[in-house]
Chain A
Amino acid sequence: MTTASKTHSQGMQLAPAKSYDWKEMVFHALFLSCAMVGVLSVATIGWFVFSEGLPAFKEAGVSQMLFGKEWLPPALFGLLPMVVASIISTAGAVIIGVPIALLTAVFLAELAPNWLANIIRPAVELLAGIPSVVYGFFGLVIIVPAIESIFNIPAGNTILAGVIVLAIMILPTVITISETSLRALPSTYKEGALALGASHIYSIFKVLIPAARSGIYTGIALGVARAIGETMAIIMVMGNAPAMPGSILEPARTLTANIAMEMSYATGIHASALYSTGIVLLAFIVLLNGSLLYLNRKRAH
């Protein structure tokens, strides 16, 4: 034993118990207050939207608002066309976007040679950083005219245009999270499958993707949240008519577009009806997160 540690161990007196360790408490409070920022924001937004939106629900009636097909403020507040437009545009984006994103993620995580992955990955990340108004531009200049000429219709501002733009917008989210969860898998899964004579592709679909399922679900849920919440790009390409769409080749207005387009001039009960549009939107998000939790929990058992 060295002299230094000897004097140290002999000379050390145990400090008495402190009733308050101020340093610990300050940091504890700091962490707690940071954590509270998110919670308080959600609570404030929820309270605000509900208190502002409830008068419209009271006036028009819940079933009138949720199932009414006419939006003619301040007389009629039927939100069904917007609900339908939001669901269809989001579902369409998922149906087109998720398979493309998942296969891209598999390609990046498992198949692509390094040099190619190093081109694709930054491109995908760049896609995530593009502002939605630029996506709207892209839709307006490329997709809308393309739909006009392919389907021979006078106006290409349709649900289909919205679906395509949203499908591209959710790609980076789903790709990045799926790729990360595929890469996080222990190599033993893949080795085990290959050692049984399974092909690489079979191992990917039967072992790796199922094993990475919970991460992939998270990616999809975040993609859906982005699609359902998207406003600017949608306003630019979807035509925004507040009427029940007959097909995806007709214009439609989503819940988000409804709020954004009318908020600047709405007053009274009309403004309240826009807040209730927000309530419906929030309900969708809660439903989405709830089902994600459920799916992941089911998997855990």
Chain B
Amino acid sequence: MNKLEVNNLNLFYGENHALKNISLAIPARQVTALIGPSGCGKSTLLRTLNRMNDLVSGVKINGDVMFEGNNIYQDVDVKHLRMRVGMVFQKPNPFPMSIYENVAFGLKAQGIKDKKVLDDTVEESLRSAALWDEVKDRLNTPAFGLSGGQQQRLCIARTIAMKPEVILMDEPTSALDPIATHKIEELMDELRKQFTIVIVTHSMNQAKRISDKTAFFWMGELVEHGETTQIFNQPIDQRTRGYVSGEFG
């Protein structure tokens, strides 16, 4: 079953045609990796899936993005959409508040005040993000005291706390060292059982290691997509072959 479906999507930043007629189905409870050189449109596509592009002025979009059969640009409340399609950013971006408050933030924004519900969700989310044991004794200390990798797992916990169905990840490990990266990848392997994950990555090794499906973008076009093993071992398009073999890009 497909969680998200992108149909004939075109996106313009002013005059710049950034996404060209993209159609892509994202299956539930799998990891889909979006790869391609810088400026190819993969991050832009990711940001159409939870409507973060709404923040950019001068963006024009046509085509459909369907989330469980609803057109997210017409039928749904954007706040509600973002609760169900969460996002983890390239640089860890905890808020300037305590670890606890960071994880509880989304719930509080929904007006949830019940201390028990908040406590339980914070613990559960931090456990799911494999961070609980490291921070359980200092939940009320500032999130900035954590290492980069811990901060990124905190951001994942904060996203999980909303109980989303999809988690979008925009190069989530590009600001982290290899050990922290490894931890995040392990975590993603756990998370795929519960969530649909779409990840933008510059690392082809990372795409190979963690994803089920891979989509290759080139200058705003979706060149090829399919099973990760197929994309890396038997790419059909010349450009895909060149990119995954490291000839360019």
Contacts and interface: CB of A to CB of B under 8 A. Distances in A.
Contacts of A192: 89, 93-95, 155, 158
B83 A196 contact: yes
Interface string A202-240: 110011001100000000000000000000000000000
Interface residues of A, number: 19
A123 interface: no
A214 to B, nearest CB: 10
Contacts of A186: 93
A194 B91 contact: no
A193 interface: yes
A191 interface: yes
A191 B105 contact: no
A196 B105 contact: yes
Interface string B76-116: 00011111001101010111110000000110111000000
A194 B86 CA distance: 10
Given A197-B110, A206-B109, A191 B93 contact: yes
B109 A195 contact: no
B55 interface: yes
Contacts of A198: 79, 105-106, 109
A2 interface: no
Nearest to B57: A114
B217 to A, nearest CB: 22
Contacts of A195: 50, 52, 82, 86-87, 89, 159
A202 B86 CA distance: 18
Given A189-B96, A197-B162, 8 more contacts: A188-B93, A191-B52, A191-B89, A195-B159, A196-B86, A196-B105, A206-B108, A206-B109
Interface in A173-199: 186, 188-199
B93 A197 contact: no
Contacts of B86: 195-196
A202 B110 CA distance: 10
Contacts of B105: 193, 196, 198, 206-207
Contacts of A188: 89, 91, 93
B55 A191 contact: yes
A206 B98 CA distance: 13
A-B complex: 6 closest residue pairs judged by Cβ atoms:
A197-B83, A196-B106, A198-B109, A188-B93, A195-B87, A197-B82
A191 B79 CA distance: 12
Interface in B150-182: 155, 158-159, 162
17 contacts: A186-B93, A189-B95, A191-B55, A191-B87, A191-B89, A191-B93, A192-B89, A193-B95, A193-B109, A195-B89, A196-B83, A196-B106, A196-B162, A197-B162, A199-B109, A202-B109, A206-B108
A191 B86 CA distance: 11
A196 B55 contact: no
Contacts of A207: 95-96, 105
A141 to B, nearest CB: 42
Given A191-B52, A191-B89, A195-B87, A210 B82 contact: no
A194 B108 CA distance: 13
Contacts of B89: 188, 191-192, 195
Nearest to B155: A192
B80 A197 contact: yes
Nearest to B96: A211
Interface in A131-189: 186, 188-189
Nearest to A194: B82
Nearest to A299: B96
A199 B50 CA distance: 14
Given A191-B55, A206-B109, A196 B82 contact: yes
A85 to B, nearest CB: 39
B120 to A, nearest CB: 18
